Amino acid sequence: MLFQIRYERLEEGFAYIEKRNAQLMLEEIGRSRNWITDELTYPFGRGINFQITVDSIALIYDNLCTQNYPIFMEPEVKWYRKTDAEVGVKQFLVQDPDGYLIRFSEYLGERAIVL
């Protein structure tokens, strides 16, 4: 399942999209209210990556590849340490046209810390 448009205001360049428990509000620059805090220079998303947890990254990855969308980081399995365990994910990243990194992440579970 891809993101669905919950509602939109085309005249403002605004869309509210969702996928299960993830919701995003997207707004074009200069079309409505301006939430700009400083001068905007490309790439706008420097230093930000948004993680979207999905059941499986495979379909999303395959669809992006079919569309020849550039992949910023190829799929990998990564284990991240938390307090007393490691959390496993399968993940990959793309960069949207404004420079924001979008990380699609599939939860693999937890394991004891490997020393």
At 56 the pLDDT is: 95
Count of domains for the chain: 2
CA gap 115, 79 in Å, rounded: 13
Q: Judging by DSSP bridges, how do beta strands 4-9 and 14-19 pair with one another?
A: antiparallel
Quick one: 14 and 57 in the same domain?
Answer: no
Percent of the chain having pLDDT more than 90? 43
The answer to whether residues 52 and 91 belong to one domain is yes
User: Domain check: are 18 and 72 in the same one?
Assistant: no
Same domain, 77 and 31: no
* Residue 33, pLDDT score: 66
Same domain, 36 and 49: no
Residue 113's CATH number: 3.10.180.10
pLDDT at 67 over 80: yes
Instruction: Please tell me whether residues 34 and 49 are part of one structural domain.
Output: no
Residue 71 confidence (pLDDT): 97
Q: How does pLDDT run across 84-101, given as a tens digit for each residue?
A: 899 999 999 999 888 889
Q: What is the pLDDT of residue 24?
A: 83
pTM: 0.71
What is the extent of the structural domain holding 1?
1-40
74 plus 100 within the same structural domain: yes
Task: Find out whether 51 and 67 touch, Cβ atoms under 8 Å.
Answer: no
Q: What is the CA radius of gyration of the chain?
A: 17
Residues 62, 78 within the same domain: yes
Q: Give the pLDDT of residue 35.
A: 67
Per residue in 23-56, pLDDT tens?
888 888 777 666 677 777 877 777 788 889 999 9
Residues 6 and 26 in one domain: yes
Amino acid occupying residue 92: F
